[in-house]
Amino acid sequence: DTAVSQTPKYLVTQMGNDKSIKCEQNLGHDTMYWYKQDSKKFLKIMFSYNNKELIINETVPNRFSPKSPDKAHLNLHINSLELGDSAVYFCASSQYGSGRWGTGELFFGEGSRLTVL
Amino acid sequence: QQQVKQSPQSLIVQKGGISIINCAYENTAFDYFPWYQQFPGKGPALLIAIRPDVSEKKEGRFTISFNKSAKQFSLHIMDSQPGDSATYFCAASRQGAQKLVFGQGTRLTINP
């Protein structure tokens, strides 16, 4: 049973289009995240939701809009896609106080590779 | 502003050798330092972590060494195996803050 699942795994689209990525976690965690991994493998947090409430919103263009319908789901909608949006987007979840060191280990999905042409 | 700096970018080690990856951080408020391992096509997964109240943490062949005064920590992989070939990320955060800051990553290749 996949703990954090993202769909789609691959997304190829034209500049200017709008696209969405969906994420679901079955770990019972209260916090979910979106991370962006660029072509150089650099991982950067974009958003974090705790119990459906936005708690972290890094300096991300407002073309990116996360939505959390419930604490098990976090979706990412991107408007007016640009070439620079091409990256792998990772969803992750955590529960503070849980995990091997009680610090809220991050569990990542397998990523959604977005290619903007 | 890069709060966690990781080196080297890439590393090639012979099977059975020791792999060493280094990280330095700036924010003295950081008090949790995990290492994540990422295989191609997969998401990162927690490998090992340390808090600044100890100078070393060992789990099997993986050891974190921590130097609080120098604001540096490193990952040592003993008896490196081809299956260890992956990208490794160091990270840091403050307790209670649900935001991990990642280093730039190190692509490790273990030659058989």
Please give the structure tokens belonging to residue B90: 């160091």
Q: Is A53 an 8 Å CB contact of chain B?
A: no
The whole-angstrom distance between B16's CA and the closest CA on chain A is 26
pLDDT average, residue stretch B23-39: 93
> Which chain B residues have a beta carbon less than 8 Å from that of A89?
none
Phi then psi for residue A88, to 5 deg, are -105, 125
The whole-angstrom distance between B104's CA and the closest CA on chain A is 5
Nearest CA in chain B to A58: B99
How high is the pLDDT of residue A99? 56
How high is the pLDDT of residue B47? 95
| Residuewise pLDDT in 10s, chain A (117 residues) | 679 999 999 999 999 999 999 999 999 998 999 999 999 889 999 999 888 888 888 878 999 999 999 989 999 999 999 999 999 999 999 886 655 555 668 899 999 999 999
Residue B44 is nearest to which of A56, A103, A108, comparing CB atoms? A108
Helix count (H) and strand count (E) of chain B? 0, 11
B43 vs A105: CB contact, 8 Å cut-off? Answer: no
Q: Is the pLDDT of residue B1 over 80?
A: no
The 10 Å Cβ neighbour count of residue B44 is: 29
Percent of chain B with pLDDT over 90: 80
Q: Is the pLDDT of residue B30 over 80?
A: yes
Which of B93, B84, B85 has its CA nearest to residue B49? B93
Taking the CA atoms of B15, B111, B109 and B20 in sequence, report the sign of the dihedral they define.
Answer: positive
Q: Is A39 an 8 Å CB contact of chain B?
A: no
CA A101 vs CA B26, B33, B47: distances in Å: 23, 11, 11
Yes or no: say if A85 and A114 are a contact pair by the CB < 8 Å rule: yes
Q: Is B78 an 8 Å CB contact of chain A?
A: no
How high is the pLDDT of residue B71? 95
How high is the pLDDT of residue B31? 87
